[in-house]
Amino acid sequence: MNDQLRVTQLRCEYLTNPLGLGIQAPRLSWVLESSRRGERQTAYQIIAASSPEKLAGDEADVWDSGKVASAETCHVRYAGPTLASRQRVWWKVRVWDGEGEPSAWSEPAWWEMGLLARQEWVGRWIGGPLKGGPRTSCPAPFLRKAFHLDQPVRSARLYVTALGLYEVEINGRRVGRDIFTPGWTDYKKRVQYQVYDVADLLTAGENALGAILGDGWYCGNVAAFGRQLYGDRPKLLAQLEITLADGRTLTIATDDSWKVAYGPILEADLIMGESYDARLEFPGWSTAGFDDGAWWPVQVFPDPGIEISPMRGQPVRRQEELKPIAEPKQFRGWVSSKWVFDMGQNMVGWVRIKVRGPAGATVILRFGEMLNPDGTLYTANLRTARATDYYTLRGDGEEVWEPRFTFHGFRYVELSGLPGEVTADAVTGVVVHSDAPLSGAFECSDPLVNQLQHNIQWGQKGNYLEVPTDCPQRDERLGWTGDAQAFIRTGIFNRDVAAFFTKWQRDLADAQSPEGAFPMVAPSVLGPDGGPAWADAGIICPWTVYQCYGDTALLAEHYDSLARFIAYLEKNSKDYIRSYEDYPGFPGFGDWLALDGSGLTDGGTRKDLIGTAFFAYSARLMSRIAAALGKTADAEKYAQLFENVRAAFQKRFVTPAGLVAGATQTSYVLALHFDLLPAGLRSVAVDQIVRDIQKRGGHLSTGFVGASYLPFVLSEGGRLDVAYQLLFQKTWPSWLYAVTQGATTIWERWDGWTHDKGFQDVGMNSFNHYAYGAIGEWLYRVVAGLDLDPDRPGYAHIVIRPHPGGGLTHARAVYDSIRGRIVSGWRIADGVLTLEATVPANTTATVYMPAAAPDQVTEEGGMAGVTLVRAEQGRVVYEVGAGTYIFRAAWNG
């Protein structure tokens, strides 16, 4: 028995103990932990049982994988008998190490199936009478149903969804912690449902089930498209399935016996805000004793005939709270004062207020990301987003309130409408986002770069909300595909977003046009073809998930959809040129917001060049996707397509001397990064980029498309010095410019605010847009040197390859991969470079130690388990197994 070796973090379809799974052969993963160098797994055994007791007694009455000779710890498919709806399976794992010694069994884990067949939904869609219209928002219906249980409850599950948003209470207590459920999908095609274990909320005797419905994306404002995009009012579908102590079962489902009323929530809109009149509350409305005699019978609606799918992603949840960093600033007004609070951080969520005042007084809360020069709230960039909450007081002492069905993107809060003094105590910021666990950290010796990493993390928090959005504050907040693909690799470093992107890939597929185009935004509410670098998210995102998590099932599930996209590109290009000059379709957004004029005007990087470059890139990724799935013939077909597009690219855009059409930084960046140049001309392209950067005084000119690749082509092209020069540039355009201006998130534009011009065009000036935060990937992969091996995805084999430079004295990345924690950190002190590398159990790594020769390198563990591979320009290359290694060598860089 190897008691150093522990089997931990059991997950099923990326989730810990998921409730309501819809996958027949779910995939199981675990992480090995061990303090022994070189620890590995040579075999595993999974047993699955119908109860925790049986599992504890090793009684595998559901499934026993037997001892399987395999090193795999990820995505091992359950292969037991067919799973039934509602079935809960308990499971545990043990493994055998390199010497054939077994580990102890892991702690138990479980998953539970949801409702697998549509006809298992026995309830009807219910809601209130129609209020409001396309232009008028409406109050939130409260729905309730009282019922009697003649016995204590053994178990109970609530299966629930809504068109709109729902929040459920049982006997006065909220069900679950999820926010904005059931989440956003294309409601014309699909709605997700959630499942909750509610046994603890029920009691023998009288009970009540209540739900409040919000407009959400279903009938509230979506971007600037107005209300009622999918339907005219929110609707609920739910069933509460109860097993009583004696084994009898009963189901309380939504039907015409429910009652409805409109109460204190006068309106609730994700973009506009929420209005609440506390005088209209129904105390105890979701408890059995409540008298609903004055409530109306609900309306029952026909089945919309859409798919009701189990939730695949991670729900939005409250994550943390922020207090104002100072007392509010008072602005005296004619009727009452306005108070402006600084939360110290551009955040996404809402505020909870704690106030006192006369009955009927209305507190007005407005939100902004910046302040005007006079210290008042800057809201011009919110466009038509009202982003205002109203709370009307009961007047009975201290009142605490927060909204339910709205969110705002803000750093500053303006409170008005209250007589008397207001203090910092009145406001607490509630931060919400998709509940993806933190998985990475990057830190270095430069405080501004650390602030940049902080800003990237916060940009991700605020914009990974249900779908990967562009921004959280103005009337937009859409699942912009271009932004998502640019940032995904960074996003994966920071948080475990595999489930989040698994869900979003389905949104992309739902949004795919019959011709095969991927959209501008998913869920789709805009043009069906996103154009180059946007539509290509359909390929780039699942490919990146595969690279980082080793997930072939996602590729397989969507393979046909991806193939249709490539066919669409072939059909809509001319001689392999995509977005060719007279192309009648959408040619793309260009290098959006680049400073050389592209995107918004016709200058800058040519759209046909961007189009063709991304066509080549997508074709090559498709070839690799086919290869990963063992589809050899397809892999060759797409590889040939890549060659054809590359040849067309060279013929049309590259001169024999290596100059690229348009000569913008992004033109060269794409040609290099997508491998579109003849090998001999690559250095010419790097030189051209460097020339252009220096001509601009050490500045970049790239937009959304080129920016994230720029540092890579420089560091890979032998100009790490220039990449660092760009990283440390403090005047705009640069990554650190906003940081020097006190930014706490990533700005949409390089020049969102400048000393000479003030605020940029209010029509498009978000201060929380993660796209330019895509440099985070370079910080992790290149600066700290924590990278994967594309041929052995999911960090089965790791690459540790730090790039000291730029005057940094240390940098360190930590990443909790699907195979466990990886660390790559380096430090320079007293002429010695120390490299720290942690390689999780059952993985291996190639370590590139910056040193002149092998005999100059020492390792704290006496090189145990370290194999010298070779020495190459300034690096000594080792192969290592699991463990933590501390290498040292003289440093005179």
- Residue span binding ligand BGC (CB under 6 A) among the ranges 65-73, 353-361, 480-488, 655-663: 480-488
Pick 769 or 801: Cβ nearer ligand BGC = 769
Contact status: 435 vs ligand BGC (CB under 6 A): no
Looking at 476, 510, 551, 816, which residue binds ligand BGC (CB under 6 A)?
476
Strands (E), 379-437: 388-392, 399-401, 408-416, 427-434
Contact 347, 457 (CB under 8 A): no
Contact status: 166 vs ligand BGC (CB under 6 A): no
Q: DSSP string spanning 774-788?
A: GGHHHIIIIII-EEE
DSSP 3-state of 447: helix
Rounded CA separation 594/604 (Å): 8
Residue in 262, 258, 255 with CA at minimum distance from that of residue 303: 255
Pick 528 or 785: Cβ nearer ligand BGC = 528
Q: Is 872 a catalytic residue?
A: no
Rounded CA separation 45/311 (Å): 29
Rounded CA separation 852/720 (Å): 18
Give the interface size with ligand BGC as a residue count (CB under 6 A): 10
Rounded CA separation 349/319 (Å): 10
Q: Distances from the Cα of 826 to the Cαs of 35, 336, 814, 833, 847, in angstroms?
A: 21, 56, 12, 7, 12
String marking each residue 486-525 x if it binds ligand BGC according to CB under 6 A: ----------------------------------------
Looking at 470, 536, 816, 859, which residue binds ligand BGC (CB under 6 A)?
470
Pick 199 or 526: Cβ nearer ligand BGC = 526
- Residue span binding ligand BGC (CB under 6 A) among the ranges 87-95, 126-134, 474-482, 728-736: 474-482
To the nearest whole angstrom, how small is the minimum distance from the Cβ of residue 205 to ligand BGC?
53
Pick 446 or 777: Cβ nearer ligand BGC = 777
H-helix or E-strand containing 625? helix 607-628
Pick 167 or 483: Cβ nearer ligand BGC = 483
Q: DSSP string spanning 27-84?
A: EEEEEEE-SSTT---SEEEEEEESSHHHHHTT--SSEE---EE----S-EEP-SSPPP
DSSP 3-state of 888: strand
Q: Distances from the Cα of 647 to the Cαs of 575, 611, 662, in angstroms?
A: 10, 14, 18
To the nearest whole angstrom, how small is the minimum distance from the Cβ of residue 219 to ligand BGC?
23
Question: Cα-Cα-Cα-Cα dihedral of 791, 793, 796, 802, to 10°?
Answer: 80
- Residue span binding ligand BGC (CB under 6 A) among the ranges 102-110, 164-172, 262-270, 475-483: 475-483
Cross-strand bridge partners of residue 349: 408, 431
Of 747-766, which residues contact ligand BGC (CB under 6 A)? 764
Strand 883-890 versus strand 832-839 pairing type? antiparallel
- Residue span binding ligand BGC (CB under 6 A) among the ranges 214-222, 344-352, 468-476, 638-646: 468-476
- Burial class for 55, CB neighbours closer than 10 Å (0-12, 13-18, 19+): buried
Q: Centre a 10 Å sphere on the Cβ of residue 114 and count the other Cβ atoms it contains.
A: 23
To the nearest whole angstrom, how small is the minimum distance from the Cβ of residue 228 to ligand BGC?
22
Pick 158 or 348: Cβ nearer ligand BGC = 348
Pick 583 or 589: Cβ nearer ligand BGC = 589
Pick 274 or 476: Cβ nearer ligand BGC = 476
Looking at 112, 435, 466, 483, which residue binds ligand BGC (CB under 6 A)?
483
Pick 466 or 836: Cβ nearer ligand BGC = 466
Catalytic residue among 414, 476, 777, 836, which? 476
Contact status: 737 vs ligand BGC (CB under 6 A): no
Contact status: 614 vs ligand BGC (CB under 6 A): no
Rounded CA separation 425/402 (Å): 14
Looking at 465, 471, 722, 823, which residue binds ligand BGC (CB under 6 A)?
471
Rounded CA separation 501/312 (Å): 9
Helix axis angle, 665-673 to 632-653, nearest 10°:
150
To the nearest whole angstrom, how small is the minimum distance from the Cβ of residue 853 to ligand BGC?
48
Looking at 114, 429, 482, 820, which residue binds ligand BGC (CB under 6 A)?
482
Pick 470 or 634: Cβ nearer ligand BGC = 470
Catalytic residue among 39, 112, 414, 748, which? 748
Q: Distances from the Cα of 378 to the Cαs of 356, 413, 414, in angstroms?
A: 27, 10, 10
Rounded CA separation 489/771 (Å): 11
To the nearest whole angstrom, how small is the minimum distance from the Cβ of residue 368 to ligand BGC?
18
Contact 25, 77 (CB under 8 A): yes
Q: Centre a 10 Å sphere on the Cβ of residue 305 and count the other Cβ atoms it contains.
A: 7
To the nearest whole angstrom, how small is the minimum distance from the Cβ of residue 486 to ligand BGC?
9
Helix axis angle, 481-494 to 537-549, nearest 10°:
10
- Residue span binding ligand BGC (CB under 6 A) among the ranges 403-411, 469-477, 541-549, 602-610: 469-477
Of 565-604, which residues contact ligand BGC (CB under 6 A)? 589, 592
- Residue span binding ligand BGC (CB under 6 A) among the ranges 387-395, 470-478, 507-515, 726-734: 470-478
Pick 405 or 592: Cβ nearer ligand BGC = 592
Q: Centre a 10 Å sphere on the Cβ of residue 571 and count the other Cβ atoms it contains.
A: 9
To the nearest whole angstrom, how small is the minimum distance from the Cβ of residue 607 to ligand BGC?
12
b/e per residue 397-428 (b: at least 16 CB within 10 A): eebebbbbbbbbbbbbbbbbbbeeebeeebbb
To the nearest whole angstrom, how small is the minimum distance from the Cβ of residue 522 to ligand BGC?
12
The token pair at 427 is 């406001």
Helix axis angle, 447-463 to 481-494, nearest 10°:
120
Contact status: 480 vs ligand BGC (CB under 6 A): yes
Pick 473 or 701: Cβ nearer ligand BGC = 473
Strand 190-197 versus strand 307-310 pairing type? parallel
- Residue span binding ligand BGC (CB under 6 A) among the ranges 18-26, 400-408, 478-486, 753-761: 478-486
Q: Is 476 a catalytic residue?
A: yes
Cross-strand bridge partners of residue 352: 428
DSSP 3-state of 546: helix
Rounded CA separation 745/771 (Å): 11
Pick 434 or 481: Cβ nearer ligand BGC = 481
Contact status: 163 vs ligand BGC (CB under 6 A): no
Cross-strand bridge partners of residue 33: 6
- Footprint of ligand BGC (CB under 6 A): 470-471, 476, 480, 482-483, 589, 592, 764, 769
| Residues known to be catalytic | 476, 748
